[in-house]
Amino acid sequence: FSCNLSDLLCSFPGLLYQEYRDKSTREEIETRRLQDSQTDPEETSPSEETPSEAEPTSTIENKAPPQINLLRNSNSRFNLWQDLPEVQSSGVLSILQPDEIKLQEAMFELVTSEASYYKSLNLLVSHFMENERLKKILHQSEAHILFSNVLDVMAVSERFLLDLEQRVEENIVISDVCDIVYQHTVNHFSVYITYVSNQTYQERAYKQLLQDKPAFREVISQLELDPKCKGLSFSSFLILPFQRITRLKLLVQNILKKVEEKSDRESTALDAHKELETVVKACNEGVRKMSRTEQMISIQKKLEFKIKSVPIISHSRWLLKQGELQQMNGPKTSRTLRTKKLFREIYLFLFNDLLVICRQIPGDKYQVFDSAPRGLLRVEELEDQGQSLANVFILRLLENADDREASYMLKASSQSEMKRWMISLAPNRRTKFVSFTSRLVDCPQIQCVHPYVAQQPDELSLELADVLNILDKTDDGWIFGERLHDQERGWFPSSMGEEILNPKIRAQNLKECFRVHKSDDSQRRKLGSRNRQ
C-alpha cells in the first residue's frame, strides 16, 4: 500500500505552521494534565505516561485517551495517520500493535508538520519578500538583513519534504523517517545556523524600519491583514526557521520514545537527534555570540578601574548577571549604626569567569574597586536576623584583586533576587530540591502553560509544553528550573507553569530524558555532575 503525499498536503489548505504549532503544544499540555490527574497506577501504561505532540488513539486499545486531532481544520478530510483513507481501507490497524500505531503517528506528524512549515515559509517569501511595493521601499542591504538566507532555508525544506514524501509513498506503514532526518541534518541544515545567527540584526533592523519608514510600516500592516496570514504577524513568519529546527529535535525525541529499545530504528533516531542537537546548539551560540560581543564592548566603555585594570573583552567571556546590591557598612551587631545608613549601594557585573565589583559614578559610569575569578567565589546565606537583615548573604572572594581573601555582606531587594545572585555567583551550591541522587529519586517538575521570554541573562525562556525539573523556588513567585529536553537552566515566574503532581509521570519524564541522551555517555556524566552541584 502507498500514499500520495501531494494529495495529503492539498487536504490542509491554509494551515500555517504557527497554527499547527500552537495547537500541537496546547494539546500536549491538555493530555499531560489528563494523565497527571490519574491516580490509579494501572490507568496509565508506561508508553502513555508522557504525551507526544500528536499522541494518537489506538483503535485497538480501549484505555487510550481520546483522539487528539492536531491538524483539525474545517477543510481537511483527515488528521492523523490512522485517518488516511488508504490506512482505513488497508486493514493494517487490526494487525499492528498499539505501540506501532503510536510510532506511525509520531513519524507521520514529523512529515505533515514539515509540510505545514514549508507552506508558511512559502508565504513569507511570496507574500512578503517578493511584494513589489516592499521591494521599492527597502534598500538591498535592508532586505538582506531582514530576510537573510530564507530562500536557502526554503530550498532545504522543500528537498527534505520531497524525500519524506517519497518514503511515505513507498508503503502506507512508514518504515522510518529518522534516517532521512539524519542525512539532511548532516548535509543541508547548516543553512539554519546562518539564518538564526542573523536574528539579532534582523530584529533590530525590523524595529528600525518600523520606526524610520512609515511607508514600510504601512505596507507590512496591509500585508498582515491579508486573509492568507490568518491574523499572524510578519515577525511570526521571520522567526519560523529557529522555531522549526528546535521543534524538529523534539519531534525526533518523540519518535525515539516510541521505537523499540536496542532496535535499528532506535539507533537511527539517536543519531538523528544527536546531529539535530548539534545544529540547535550552534544556532543558539550564533545568536548569543552576536549579542554578547556588543554587550561586552558596551560594558567595557562604562568601567573605570580604581584598582589594576582587568581586560573585560574576551571571545570566551559573557555576562551572566548584573545589578545593584546593598553593601553593609560596619559590624552588624553595632547598635550605634541603627540611626545611620546601614548599607550603601554597590554594583556587580558577573561574567562566566569573572566578578567585577563597582560603585556607580556620574555619567552612567562604574568605578571598579574589587574583582575575583568566578571560580574563587563562595556564598553563605545569613539566618533570619530581623527585617533590617532580611535577604542578606555573605560573599567571600578567596582571592581578590589584591591577592587576598575578602568578604562582603550584601543585601538584595527580595528573596528571589538574593537566591538568584547566590546561584549565579556560586553555581556549585546544592539547591533546595536537588542533590546528587536527584535523578534516582522523585524531583518536583513543572510544565509550561504560558510562554515566557527571558528578561535577564540568568532567566530561561520557555515554550509551551516544556517540562522542567524544579531545582529551587522562592516565596515571592520565582522558580529555578532545568528543562529536560536540553538541560538548559534558569529562572522564570512560577505563574508560567503548572506542577506535575503524579509521581509516575515525573519518573517517566526522567526515564525518557535518560533514554534520549543514552548514546552520549559524556552527556550522561554531565547530567550526573550537574546533580551533584
Tell me: do 272 and 155 sit in the same domain. yes
Tell me if 431 is assigned to some domain.
no
Tell me if 13 is assigned to some domain.
yes
Q: How far is the C-alpha of 353 from the C-alpha of 57, rounded, in Å? A: 51
Tell me: do 476 and 444 sit in the same domain. yes
Considering only the C-alpha atoms of the chain, give the largest distance between any 2 of them, rounded to a whole number of Å: 89
Asked whether the predicted pLDDT for residue 64 surpasses 60, the reply is no
SS3 readout for 79-101: CCHHHCHHHHHHCHHHCCCHHHH
pLDDT for 341: 62
* pLDDT tens digits for range 387-418: 667 899 999 999 999 999 999 999 999 999 99
Tell me if 299 is assigned to some domain.
no
Final residue of a structural domain among 361, 396, 425: 425
- Cα distances from 309 to residues 46, 88, 293, in angstroms, run 59, 74, 20
Q: What helix, strand, coil percent values describe the chain, rounded to 5?
A: 50, 15, 35
Tell me: do 390 and 457 sit in the same domain. no
pLDDT for 74: 32
Tell me if 346 is assigned to some domain.
yes
Amino acid at 263: S
pLDDT for 356: 97
Tell me: do 239 and 345 sit in the same domain. no
Residue 219, all three cell numbers: 505596507
pLDDT for 22: 86
Tell me: do 104 and 196 sit in the same domain. yes
Total domains in the chain come to 3
pLDDT, mean of residues 127-131:
97
Task: Kindly indicate the confidence band of residue 300, based on its pLDDT and cuts at 50, 70 and 90.
Answer: very high
Final residue of a structural domain among 375, 393, 425: 425
What DSSP designation does 459 have? Answer: B
* pLDDT tens digits for range 492-502: 999 999 999 99
Tell me: do 280 and 416 sit in the same domain. no
Tell me: do 441 and 351 sit in the same domain. no
Tell me: do 315 and 258 sit in the same domain. no
Tell me if 178 is assigned to some domain.
yes
Tell me if 61 is assigned to some domain.
no
Final residue of a structural domain among 374, 392, 425: 425
- CATH code, domain with 520: 2.30.30.40
Task: Kindly indicate the confidence band of residue 89, based on its pLDDT and cuts at 50, 70 and 90.
Answer: very high
Tell me: do 239 and 189 sit in the same domain. yes
Asked whether the predicted pLDDT for residue 487 surpasses 50, the reply is yes
Q: How far apart are the first and last CA of the chain?
A: 54
* pLDDT tens digits for range 302-333: 999 999 888 899 889 999 999 999 998 755 44
* pLDDT tens digits for range 223-275: 999 999 999 999 999 999 999 999 999 999 999 999 999 999 999 999 999 99
pLDDT for 70: 29
Contact of 15 with 119, CB cutoff 8 Å: yes
Domain ranges, residue 313: 306-331+339-425
Tell me: do 226 and 374 sit in the same domain. no
Tell me if 50 is assigned to some domain.
no
The share of the chain scoring above pLDDT 90, in percent, equals 66
Question: Do β-strands 365-373 and 478-483 pair in parallel, antiparallel, or remain unpaired?
Answer: unpaired
The share of the chain scoring above pLDDT 70, in percent, equals 81
Q: What is the pTM of this model?
A: 0.79
pLDDT for 388: 67
- Cα distances from 110 to residues 84, 104, 438, in angstroms, run 16, 10, 33
Asked whether the predicted pLDDT for residue 42 surpasses 70, the reply is no
Tell me if 63 is assigned to some domain.
no
pLDDT for 516: 84
**Average model confidence (pLDDT) for the chain?**
84
- CATH code, domain with 417: 2.30.29.30
Asked whether the predicted pLDDT for residue 427 surpasses 70, the reply is yes
* 479: helix, strand or coil: strand
- CATH code, domain with 147: 1.20.900.10
Tell me: do 421 and 440 sit in the same domain. no
* 499: helix, strand or coil: strand
Tell me: do 93 and 203 sit in the same domain. yes
